[in-house]
């Protein structure tokens, strides 16, 4: 199944943290629901982009590899897709009445 891509980011040849920095900037230019394809050669980008997207609240759609190039797919979230904020102890803060 092919993923409809709205923008392609060329991050080939860039080392950590630059693929993430460029991914963040590219997603800022997209509308909610649009998909960014990140092309990277840094093997660490596989775990980095997946983890970063999850921590921010964007949807990591997956990756595939073509030769030395990793193709990552990230869908930009919208404001209704809320993630739980956590404090430094990784505990959900709730208000008691």
Q: Which of 47, 50, 46, 49 is nearest to 70 (CA)?
A: 46
Q: Which member of 16, 21, 32, 69 is catalytic?
A: 16
16 is catalytic: yes
Its sign, for the CA torsion 14, 20, 22, 23, is: positive
Q: Which of 57, 55, 12, 17 is nearest to 37 (CA)?
A: 12
- Distance (Å, rounded) from C-alpha 46 to C-alpha 56? 16
Q: Active-site residue numbers?
A: 16
């Amino acid at each position: 199944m092919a993923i409809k891509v709205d923008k392609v980011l060329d991050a080939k040849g860039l080392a950590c943290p630059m693929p993430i920095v460029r991914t963040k900037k590219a997603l800022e230019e997209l509308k909610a629901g649009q998909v960014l394809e990140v092309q990277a050669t840094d093997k660490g980008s596989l775990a980095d982009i997946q983890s970063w997207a999850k921590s921010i609240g964007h949807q990591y759609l997956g990756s595939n590899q073509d030769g030395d190039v990793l193709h990552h797919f990230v869908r930009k979230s919208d404001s209704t897709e809320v993630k739980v904020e956590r404090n430094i102890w990784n505990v959900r803060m709730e208000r008691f009445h």
